[in-house]
Chain A
């Protein structure tokens, strides 16, 4: 694997470890309001400073990271799962099933993705589950397309023919023989998509459509503090930096995986 991939995976591990052990290591309660120390610049007591209610930004970033990262990962697994099953069926069975599924995929892809995600988050009660669903509702289509295309190219190969000759059922061929062939593709695609899911989650939170206050997420921290941009820039600098670093690591990891498996996936 490329060096960039190794660095990214180390950083991601480090960020996740810190985020998921937030209750153990965070120096302050993330939602505790301390009006004696509002808008303090970064110092030894508060390494990333405090916000307009005196809450410690470092602690809020730790807790927020847990939400942002888990939303992206769950959304990726949902998209991957739905996309895999749908893509397998569409590619293997063909005919009317394929036509129907691809029509739905085309319909969803003909929407500007972020507008659709906004639409969904507006309808469902706000919260992290809604964000996961909104991301997955759009996200599965690219997985389905990728898997369908791959199945179409491999379903006529000799090993499938051999399995058929041995009397394997269609379901068995599909899940035991064809599905494992898709694993590298899924791995690379998930890596590539996770970065954009982090960004989508952050954007939805920024618009107030994600986890509701006082719960911190990286996106909502930038949004809530943007009024203080000229007086206390650290309040938006650090949460945004975390979004960028995490998304960058996922993107670099996806790239490295793609080169490792020598796949041609465009995104």
Chain B
């Protein structure tokens, strides 16, 4: 277990170098000159040069990258070209909001997804199964930004139940969480169904049935319990889709998190902001995956035994 953990952590180093250089190259080759955006088209060339020197964007690209990495290790992500605020501070400020949103979405998605998947698997082959399965494919096909707008239209603008947009207490959190949860419910339903149906074919289920245990008990205590382990992975990996969806959902609902911050950075060509957002997003993604991996190892005795026997 320890060796496995160390190995995994060691693998993170090339990954992080890859991620930072990729984001660095990406943002450096952006169209549009931020210095010109700052001072306007008619500024004196000397002023432009002076600002370039201050920002260090006149130097060799490799030196710029090394400097960037040095700063990154100190937690310094650079300053926004517009607000002149430290990007890292802003990210720390906005991160809790995105996490709240992701948590809200998970709280909705996990119970519903598991429930629907379980019902599908238990009633497999029936109309109920067919109906829920088709609904879950539909859920996967609806664009988040559209479902978000429709939810906003009906629940907020028409029925006036909740505020349409903004950042604040739980009332503001409900609509974006529902929006973000919809595709996650669909995915989880699908995967739960497949996983449980697969387990149903295994011999131990026949053995349990031979003992005379009721179908519902077999389904719940034996099949479902065994299915939970692989499902943990799916739930964890789905976290990545929350990050993806957050850019759209936060933009629509005006939720002040990292997703909207990314979008604002893109619109204003604010390189440090974009780079910071992508790096933080990726780091969260990578660490969640690592955490899920470890959890999986912890929960599944088969893997632990396999590791020991080697």
B-binding residues in A (CB < 8 A): 4, 103, 106-107, 110-115, 118-120, 122-123, 125, 195, 199, 202-203, 206-209, 219, 222-223, 226, 229-230, 233, 236-237, 240, 243-245, 247-248, 250-252, 255, 266
Contacts and interface: CB of A to CB of B under 8 A. Distances in A.
Contacts of B262: 115, 118
Contacts of A103: 14
Given A119-B274, A202-B145, A247-B141, 14 more contacts: A4-B134, A113-B240, A114-B243, A114-B247, A123-B27, A125-B31, A199-B143, A203-B144, A207-B247, A207-B263, A207-B266, A222-B143, A244-B142, A247-B142
A245 B278 CA distance: 31
Contacts of A203: 143-145, 248
A218 to B, nearest CB: 9
Interface string B272-291: 00100110011001100100
B266 A118 contact: yes
Interface of B: 14-15, 18-19, 22-23, 26-27, 29-31, 134, 137-138, 140-146, 149-150, 152-153, 157-158, 191, 194, 240, 243-245, 247-248, 251-252, 262-263, 266-267, 274, 277-278, 281-282, 285-286, 289
A240 B15 contact: no
B266 A122 contact: yes
A240 B240 CA distance: 24
Contacts, number: 127
Contacts of A245: 141
Nearest to A245: B141
A195 B140 CA distance: 9
Contacts of B248: 203, 206-207
Contacts of B27: 119, 122-123
B137 A110 contact: no
A240 B143 contact: yes
A206 B145 contact: yes
B166 to A, nearest CB: 16
A186 to B, nearest CB: 21
Given A122-B274, A123-B30, A110 B141 contact: no
B241 to A, nearest CB: 8
Contacts of A251: 137, 140-141
A237 B30 CA distance: 34
B282 A243 contact: no
A113 B245 CA distance: 11
Contacts of A195: 140-141
A1 B297 CA distance: 39
Contacts of B157: 229-230
A115 B26 CA distance: 12
A244 B194 contact: no
A119 B289 CA distance: 21
Nearest to B286: A110
B26 A120 contact: yes
Nearest to A103: B14
B251 A236 contact: no
B264 to A, nearest CB: 11
13 contacts: A4-B134, A106-B15, A111-B19, A114-B243, A122-B274, A202-B143, A208-B267, A209-B266, A229-B157, A230-B157, A236-B149, A243-B143, A247-B141
Contacts of B263: 207
